[in-house]
Chains A and B, each alone.
Chain A
Amino acid sequence: MSFDTIIQYGHLLLEGTWLTIKLSGLALVVGALCAMPMAVARCSDRRWLSRPVRVYISFFRGTPMLAQLFLIYYGAGQYRHELQALNLWWLFRDPFYCALVTFALNTTAYQTELLRGGIQGVPRGEIEAAKAYGMSSWLRYRLIVLPHAYRIAFPALGNEVILLLKGSAIASVVTLFDLMGQTRTIFAKTFDFSIYLWAALLYLLITMLIVRVWRRLEDRLNPHLRQRTVQRSSTPAVAVAPTE
């Protein structure tokens, strides 16, 4: 294996890495902003509120993100005149915005579902105590339910960050030069297989970095648990019911 290719094209890979981080980072932030109200709606007793959110989650989790991306990027062309009339065509004409919208819609669905798990995991007693204090439901959510829900959902949200980062590789299919896109172009030019390995290494480095950062944040978020740190890496993220 020679290093010629990576020396010649390394800067392109780094540019691609930046686009990958920008794209998935923006989508994750938009998703996080949308997921909070939607998770609250999902947990509502009112069917007309929770039902549409359930359908939304089911659709975006039940279909491939690549198909969703095609639906938005190519599908918008079918309604070009309508979109132009609405002054929205600039958004759907640009592959970057299309990928961003797709990823944001997708991660919103996943984050909503994770946050729902967190909200439902908040002990009943805490909610009853808040009610006994006479808190309004707004105050209850703001001070009691949501802070605890985020703590519960936090490790799973970290998984979602990594999943979206990996999933964002499909942006390369709609002509974007993210890390995957740059890699494919360089391979098409040089036929040097090692470029795929470099890309794999970069992706692995980013995921490992996220894992590290997330663990730090988790410690921050749970100061009361810091003394008796449970081994997190060795317990798999599977819903395994204890036998007793």
Chain B
Amino acid sequence: MDNLSLLAFGSDGWGDELLSGLLVTIQLAATTLPLGLLIGFAVAGASLSSHPWLRRFGRGYTTAARGIPELLTLFLVYNGIAMLLNAVWRWLDPEAGFVELSPFIAGVIALSVVFGAFSGEVLRGAFQALDRGQIEAGQAIGLSRWDLFRFIKLPQIWRFALPGLGNLWVNLIKDTALVSIIALNDLLRMTNIAVGATKKPFTFFLIACAAYWLLSILSEMVLARLEERANRGVRRA
């Protein structure tokens, strides 16, 4: 089959190019995850704070970041931060040339902003699902705030938030494809390049879809295992 030789490694086939794109896709998602979760915890904390201004900020952030298309957020970040960066740069050094924001960094920031807003809502729900009695019990035996968080709250937040966060992770993998539009060499862009050279768009985009599909299915399998483990102490109804 000549379709198989299209996927060969080396200078003849596109296997190694597509694989390098897949690695960039995975790197992008894996870098975004911790940053996005950090924003998520901060936003959940703000939304649940007793301070009205913080609460308002939390609500405004989640509404805005969830209501704007991911693609628009990406362009806002990519062009906005680049313009800001250049303004600061020129203020520091009027002779300086134009600096460009790396698409990878722009992608990580934009995807983290989005992931942070959605995971903030999931985490807020998990915080609110915590059993008050257990927290009071923890306070009664004199746990510090940090120990209370670490030993009582966090393990249960993990259990409550895991299904929601799992969905967001799969969405994140899919959203990385958008970054190909601002010229990051991820899986979808490498596929585009291969299409340009071989004139076999259907074959190659089908291969790209299959790769994303595989990533999603693998993620779902791992998540199912994690959920099983997180719920190991829970009595079933």
Contact = CB atoms under 8 A, between A and B. Distances in A.
Contact of B205 (A74, A166, A172, A242): A74
Interface in A161-215: 162, 166-170, 172-173, 180, 183-184, 187, 193, 196-197, 199-200, 203-204, 207-208
B212 A64 contact: yes
B126 interface: yes
B209 A63 contact: yes
A97 interface: no
Interface in A53-79: 58-59, 61-68, 70-71, 74-79
Contacts of A230: none
A136 interface: no
A30 B63 CA distance: 28
A239 interface: yes
Given A59-B213, A63-B216, A169-B72, A78 B125 contact: no
Contacts, number: 141
B201 A75 contact: yes
B195 interface: yes
A162 B64 CA distance: 13
Q: Is chain A's interface secondary structure helix, strand, loop, or mixed overall? A: helix
Contacts of A68: 209
A62 B217 contact: yes
A200 B76 contact: yes
Interface in B31-75: 63-64, 67-72, 75
B20 interface: no
A6 to B, nearest CB: 16
Given A65-B174, A74-B201, A187 B79 contact: yes
Q: Is chain B's interface secondary structure helix, strand, loop, or mixed overall? A: helix
Contact of B188 (A66, A168, A169): A66
- Interface bracket on B: 35 or more
B67 A193 contact: no
Interface string B202-237: 110110110011001100000000000000001000
Contacts of A240: 125-126, 129, 160
Contacts of A167: 69
B73 to A, nearest CB: 8
A200 B71 CA distance: 11
B188 A238 contact: no
B126 A196 contact: no
Contacts of A208: 67
Nearest to B75: A196
Interface in A210-238: 235-238
Contacts of B71: 169-170, 172, 180
B69 A166 contact: yes
Contact of B67 (A64, A76, A204): A204
Given A66-B177, A67-B212, A75 B205 contact: yes
Contacts of B201: 70-71, 74-75, 77-78
Nearest to B177: A64
Given A74-B205, A78-B201, 13 more contacts: A61-B216, A64-B175, A64-B177, A64-B212, A75-B202, A78-B199, A78-B200, A167-B69, A169-B69, A169-B71, A172-B71, A236-B128, A241-B129
23 contacts: A59-B213, A62-B212, A63-B216, A64-B188, A65-B174, A71-B202, A71-B206, A162-B67, A169-B69, A169-B70, A170-B71, A180-B69, A180-B72, A200-B72, A203-B72, A204-B64, A207-B67, A236-B122, A236-B125, A238-B164, A239-B163, A240-B160, A243-B131
The 8 closest A-B pairs by CB, nearest first: A62-B216, A75-B202, A64-B177, A236-B125, A169-B69, A74-B201, A78-B202, A71-B205
